[in-house]
Amino acid sequence: MAYDILGADGPIMGDDAMGEILGDDLLGDDLMGDDRRGGRLARARAAGVPTQRPALFQRMPGMSPPAVGRIPLGFGVLLCTNALNPSGGTLTARPQVPWRGSKLIIGITGTNSGNYAVSLRPTIGNRPVLAGAASVDARAYPATGIDNNLIADAGGPGIDVSLEFVITPPLGVGDTIQLQANWIGDAAI
């Protein structure tokens, strides 16, 4: 599902009835507070308070609107051995344009890499992307996956996007794991 990072968000965070229930209401309004139930969002609209979230990238008068592209954010490679990063590490990328991740792809290769659990905890800036405190299985986001969706908050230029990997148990002698990640998302280009 695509999101408009230049204006109002798509259906999940948008201005429609489903967006009110899943977006505005879970982010501060009453859980069931859409227009039909007289919730906080309806009261704000009745009072004339703007309810649409500001765009990530504002259009300027007299300038061509920026284009939105679906581009990857590359994280590089993390090599883990018994002597170097035996319990995992962190891959960090810094977007150069406003960006919102939507599909995460993780490659895990190495000697005896199947003998180890690899978990993942993504963050954007200082905000965790996951709904809970526990990390998730990194193998849930393979390059061949159909539903690798991990839709995140928008990040802007200079805001680090980090993927923290934890390998359990620590790597044994002679075992290696190489981690590579790309997070495809919408960006103002």
**What is the DSSP annotation of 47-91?**
TT---SPPPSS---TTSPPPPEEEEEEEEEEEEEESSS-TTEEEE
CATH architecture of 68-188: Sandwich (2.60)
pLDDT reported for residue 62: 72
CA-to-CA dists, residue 185 to 3, 73, 144, angstroms = 9, 8, 17
Domain positions in the chain are 1-55, 68-188
pLDDT reported for residue 40: 66
How far apart, in whole angstroms, are the C-alpha atoms of residue 136 and residue 125? 19
Does residue 43 sit in helix, strand or coil? helix
The pTM (predicted TM-score) of the whole model is 0.67
* Span 76-107, pLDDT tens digits: 999 999 999 999 999 999 999 889 999 999 99
Q: Which residues of the chain are modeled with pLDDT < 70?
A: 1-41, 49-60, 63-66
